[in-house]
Amino acid sequence: MYQKLVRKEVMGILEKEVGSFLDKFLTPIEKIWQPSDYLPDPSSDDFKHDLEEIQTFAREMPYDLFVTLIGDCITEEALPSYESWLMGVDGVNQEQKVGWANWVRAWTAEENRHGDLLNKYLYLCGRVNMREVEITTQYLINDGFDLGTSMDPYRNFIYTSFQETATNISHRRVGTLAKQSGNGKLAKMCGVIAADEARHAKAYKHFVAKILEIDPSEMILAFEDMMRKKIVMPAHLMRQSGQKAGELWGHFSDAAQRCMVYTGHDYINIMKDLLDEWKIEHVKGLTEKAEKAQEYLMKLPARLQKITDRVSTPDLQFQFNWVKS
């Protein structure tokens, strides 16, 4: 007979393994890279040469790709919102120095380096109106977000599994395109950030897999609910000066689509990968309601593909306040 488990009970079971999660998916602070490893050293004799190289390649970057890089930086810089959200998830006791609270802090500490690195790169590159970027970042933190997860750990782990994968794709693609144009410094920066995101995605996918072993029906239902709502990006309320919350997101998304950094097809492919990763089709012992959710999830990629094939991306470039004219 199926017994519905309380979320906090399941989180308590997994919390005993958080120490192993930290060792497996995060890197010790003394060993991991830092932003200064990839940025020009102002005290070096080569600083002027390195700075000129950065600025030359920045001027040559296609507009949509450059805007996507800036938007990725802003998304990373809104980290305070993400940490505060995860600290409020059911089963996370932020007063503790161990367990899930320790995971959230350690994950945040790794993520914090991404915004630091990209922000300093953009500051040095000379093509960015940093004040406008800072306004967008402050607005994004101020406006917050609604991920559709409430404080449910199951939905939050579904979301982070999806989002960390999407972030990995975006940074990796920007890096690949930068490398193709000879911009090796930016390619390395994006590459090391993407590698972090890939590790973090593995962690959250592992958490979901563990919960599927303990509470399969409720996790399947949480997965279905998140996909019915559709996964929103953490910067979906992005705006620039003079705009209302969310007005800029569509333009940023269009730019990322046009330069093929992140597209509707990527969304579908992430969905397929998660279905495969968690072996959703083969999960047994489900309630009748969860079995219907399982069936819905397995059919969803094909349905989304038909919709995506009919959607066209606007060709007209939007003029962002972030980029100096």
What amino acid positions are annotated as catalytic residues? 33, 76, 111, 114, 164, 167, 196-197, 200
Nearest to 256 by CA among 192, 160, 170: 170
Residue pointed to by tokens 């980290």: 79
DSSP codes of every residue in 110-134: HHHHHHHHHHHHHHHHS-B-HHHHH
Tokens of 88: 């409020």
Kindly tell me the burial class for residue 97, based on how many C-beta atoms sit within 10 Å of its own C-beta (0-12, 13-18, 19 or more). Answer: exposed
Dihedral sign of CA atoms 207, 213, 214, 216 in order: positive
164 is annotated as contributing to ligand binding: yes
Nearest to 154 by CA among 84, 81, 227: 227
Contact 323, 128 (CB under 8 A): yes
Task: Go through 212-245 and write b for each residue having 16 or more CB atoms within 10 A of its CB, e for each that does not.
Answer: beebbbbbbbbbbbbbeeebbbbbbbbbbeeeeb
132 is annotated as contributing to ligand binding: no
114 is annotated as contributing to ligand binding: yes
What's the rounded Cα separation, in Å, for the pair 167 and 172? 8
What's the rounded Cα separation, in Å, for the pair 88 and 107? 15
Tokens of 71: 């938007």
Q: What are phi and psi of 323, to 5 degrees?
A: -100, 130
Half-sphere exposure of 120 (CA within 13 A, CB side): 17
Residues 6+ positions from 152 with CB-CB distance below 8 Å: 7, 89, 90, 222
With vertex at residue 163, the alpha carbon angle to CA 254 and CA 226, rounded to the nearest 5 degrees, is: 100
Annotated binding site for Fe cation: 76, 111, 114, 164, 197, 200
